[in-house]
Amino acid sequence: MFSFQVHHPTTNTAIIADDGTRLTYGDLSDFSGSVNKVIPNRCLVFLLCRNTPGALCGYFSFLTGRIVPLMLDSTINGALLAGLIKTYKPQYLWLPDHRADEFMPAKTVFSGYRYSLVKLETNEGFPLHDDLAMLLATSGSTGSPKFVRISYENLAANAGSIADYLAIGEHERPVTTLPMSYSYGLSVINSHILMGAAILLTSKTLLEKDFWRFVKEHKASSLSGVPYMYKILKRINFMQMDLPSLTTLTQAGGRLSSELVHEFATCCAGSGKKFFVMYGQTEATARMAYLPARYALQKPESIGNAIPGGCFSLVDENGTEIEEHDTIGELVYKGRNVSMGYANGYDDLMKGDENHGVLFTGDLAKRDSDHFYYIVGRNQRFIKIFGNRVSLDETEILLEKIVPECACTGQDDHLVIYITDMNRMAEVKKYISAVTEIHPTAVSVRHCVEIPRNEAGKTHFFLPDIT
Amino acid sequence: MTNAEKYRETFITLFGVTKNELQKLEYQGVDTWDSVGHMSLVARLEETFDIMMETDDIIEFSSFLKGIEILRKYGVRL
């Protein structure tokens, strides 16, 4: 029976939180023992994540106790949460104390570090596949019922590869900058827990004074960010900050412009830091590729090559492998971190591995003669907004509830919606940012007289040429 | 429009709040004033008042009222 187990000295510090909490790996395993006494059987738990000791202690307890968490953000809207509870029938919820009341009369059966374990008596248990470790959302907080099924092997393999290429040791101190419910944020936690390092836990953002005070006080050694966070770092003059302990910067969650890669790589090279451009998807647990820091200046547009233990290939439209360099095809990844498949409801949780270690990424890429890979586009209709995947087709379906005709397009960090009714542009913008939580500044609503469609009724897009 | 009006208007249009909410408005107090919203706020205020804000001021700009104090340092009469 496989689970995610670590065997670090019990005196090693595991968590340093911005509220002053300090916990060792010994404390974590004691806490885990208590949680697992309360939850007798393997079952599904909704974990409402926040970068706080309560959330992380719960997460650690579930993983080591073979209880399956479905990861959500703690601020998830009540109606979306209720919908997911119906779809997945969890027996327990692990959530911040202040949200426990929403589930009255359901009882809180355990609590610790300002988190409560609420038992939903009305939900009975159901079988879970033996290998299933957790469920991760495919996109942000859109309330989509589609989750990725991650196995214990996936977790261990990916955390191990990441720790390997980033050379993570027990003296590392990453500071949290991303939500735990987001695969990239979680991968930072997993890879450091695996190595017995201490995690600096904060839910403060890069734009708060207290965040930087915390980073300095506890000598954070690494920081991770999605593209828009690097724009923020640039604007707040990160490159001029005196942070000698901070030696590693990682970037994933979408493409960072080569200009910014170049700027950060130059600055890092000059101050003894390493800057890693990385590539991944939740379907691969988190990471699939990284660009070694020493190549960031030389090949700022590349995602590098597959992580240790993984490998890439490119296939053409017929599924034939492309051998030549500089030829575009779909990027295919193989590795032990390729997830088991998707789930759309509780009865999918007994399913076994459907991917067999192979992931068709949906990204179009090419490889140069030095075997470095470059993402050049996508063959699926989605964009990434602030690191989160947004399906354009799903967004159109949402919009069809309020307007008869629409078409969605755009680019990363910018959704463009075309509608035919000129008087409803403000309403559409308000509606879409309310239901999807996409920031309104990242949405443009434009008017067109008619949505261009082909004979089959499919929208005819004038998309930018990606080749 | 006076500077004070321009300042208020920036918050109202950017964060979709009402005039009555402004006095108590804080960073992350509404969904729209998150880190993305904050960067837009800074950019718009810089454009409106033709200033360039320092790092410390960007990260200390934690509320509607605090912002008034900060902008005054740049000679904006509010």
CA-nearest residue of chain B to A210? Answer: B59
d(CA A302, CA A366): 10
* Within a domain: B44: yes
CATH class entry, domain A13-373 = alpha beta
To test the contact with chain A by mutation, choose from B38, B39, B45, B54 the residue with the greatest count of A C-beta atoms within 10 A, namely B39
To test the contact with chain B by mutation, choose from A178, A241, A390, A441 the residue with the greatest count of B C-beta atoms within 10 A, namely A441
| pTM, two decimal places | 0.88
User: Taking Cα atoms as reference points, which of A69, A94, A67, A70 lies closest to residue A3?
Assistant: A67
> Does residue B27 sit at the A interface (CB-CB below 8 Å)?
yes
Query: What is the token pair recorded at A218?
Result: 């506890």
d(CA A201, CA A214): 9
| Cβ contact, residue pair A237, B59, below 8 Å | no
pLDDT at A433 over 90: no
What's the N-to-C CA distance of chain A in angstroms?
A: 47
Closest in A211, A237, A386 to B36, CB measured: A386
* Within a domain: B67: yes
Query: What is the token pair recorded at A252?
Result: 């994933």
Q: What is the pLDDT of residue A140?
A: 55
- List residues bridging with A391 in a β-sheet: A382
CA-nearest residue of chain B to A212? Answer: B59
| Cβ contact, residue pair B58, A236, below 8 Å | yes
The 10 Å Cβ neighbour count of residue A140 is: 21
Q: In terms of C-beta density within 10 A (0-12 exposed, 13-18 middle, 19 or more buried), how is residue A426 classed? A: exposed
A260's enclosing H/E stretch is helix A258-270
| Cβ contact, residue pair A441, B36, below 8 Å | yes
For every residue of A12-80, DSSP letters joined together read SEEEEETTS-EEEHHHHHHHHHHHHHHS-S--EEEEEE-SSHHHHHHHHHHHHTT-EEEEEETT--HHH
pLDDT at A456 over 70: no
CA-nearest residue of chain B to A236? Answer: B55
d(CA B40, CA A343): 37
The amino acid present at A387, given as its one-letter code, is G
A94's enclosing H/E stretch is strand A92-96
Q: Where in chain A are the domains?
A: 13-373, 381-447
Q: What is the pLDDT of residue A143?
A: 67
The 10 Å Cβ neighbour count of residue A381 is: 18
* Within a domain: B78: no
Q: What is the pLDDT of residue A389?
A: 82
- List residues bridging with A275 in a β-sheet: A249
Give residue A420's pLDDT band: very low, low, confident or very high (50, 70, 90).
confident
pLDDT at A464 over 50: no
> Does residue B26 sit at the A interface (CB-CB below 8 Å)?
no
* Within a domain: B23: yes
Which domain does B26 fall in, by range? 3-73
Give residue A465's pLDDT band: very low, low, confident or very high (50, 70, 90).
very low
Query: Closest Cα of chain A to B2: distance in Å?
Result: 25
> Does residue B38 sit at the A interface (CB-CB below 8 Å)?
yes
Query: What is the token pair recorded at B20?
Result: 């009555």
Q: What is the pLDDT of residue A428?
A: 92
* Within a domain: B34: yes
**Do A310 and A288 form a contact (C-beta atoms < 8 A)?**
yes
Q: A398 versus A142: which is more confidently predicted?
A: A398
> Does residue A210 sit at the B interface (CB-CB below 8 Å)?
no
CA angle (A366 as vertex; A360, A367 as ends), nearest 5: 110
Q: How far is CA A177 from CA A15, A184, A320, A386, in A?
A: 15, 10, 40, 13
Q: What are phi and psi of A412, to 5 degrees?
A: -55, 140
The 10 Å Cβ neighbour count of residue A435 is: 17
Q: Give the mean pLDDT of chain A.
A: 92
- Asked casually if ipTM beats, i.e. exceeds, 0.85, the reply is yes
CA-nearest residue of chain A to B32? Answer: A439
- List, for residues A282-337, the tens digit of each pLDDT value: 999 999 999 999 999 999 999 999 999 999 999 998 899 999 999 999 999 999 99
Query: What is the token pair recorded at A448?
Result: 């067109």
pLDDT at A168 over 60: yes
Q: What is the pLDDT of residue A139?
A: 66
- List, for residues A182-203, the tens digit of each pLDDT value: 999 999 999 999 999 999 999 9
- List, for residues A102-135, the tens digit of each pLDDT value: 999 999 999 999 999 999 999 999 999 999 999 9
% of chain A surpassing 90 pLDDT? 76
Region A218-224 average pLDDT: 98
The amino acid present at A285, given as its one-letter code, is T
d(CA A245, CA A243): 6
Query: What is the token pair recorded at A88?
Result: 């997945």
Which CATH code, of 3.90.1150.10, 3.40.50.300, 1.20.1600.10, 3.30.300.30, is assigned to A381-447?
A: 3.30.300.30
| Cβ contact, residue pair A208, B62, below 8 Å | yes
User: Taking Cα atoms as reference points, which of A126, A121, A149, A112 lies closest to residue A31?
Assistant: A112
Q: Give the mean pLDDT of chain B.
A: 95
Task: Tell me if the bond preceding A308 is cis, omega within 30° of 0.
Answer: no
Q: What is the pLDDT of residue A193?
A: 96
Domain at B32, CATH number: 1.10.1200.10
d(CA A176, CA A188): 8
- List, for residues A353-372, the tens digit of each pLDDT value: 999 999 999 999 999 999 99
Number of domain units in chain B:
1
pLDDT at A1 over 50: no
- List, for residues A243-292, the tens digit of each pLDDT value: 999 999 999 998 899 999 999 999 999 999 999 999 999 999 999 999 99
User: Taking Cα atoms as reference points, which of A262, A253, A211, A213 lies closest to residue A234?
Assistant: A262
For every residue of A112-150, DSSP letters joined together read ETTEEEEE-TTPPP----TTEEEEEESSSSS----EEEE
d(CA A382, CA A153): 29
Q: How far is CA A452 from CA A379, A399, A421, A456, B5, in A?
A: 20, 17, 15, 11, 42
Closest in B14, B28, B59 to A209, CB measured: B59
3-state secondary structure of A89: coil
- List, for residues B19-69, the tens digit of each pLDDT value: 999 999 999 999 899 998 999 999 999 999 999 999 999 999 999 999 999
**Do A329 and A362 form a contact (C-beta atoms < 8 A)?**
no
**Do A281 and A288 form a contact (C-beta atoms < 8 A)?**
yes
> Does residue B18 sit at the A interface (CB-CB below 8 Å)?
no
Question: Considering all CA atoms of chain A, what is the largest pairwise distance in Å, rounded to the nearest integer?
Answer: 68
User: Taking Cα atoms as reference points, which of A223, A174, A192, A248 lies closest to residue A8?
Assistant: A192
Query: Closest Cα of chain A to B13: distance in Å?
Result: 10
Region A219-228 average pLDDT: 96
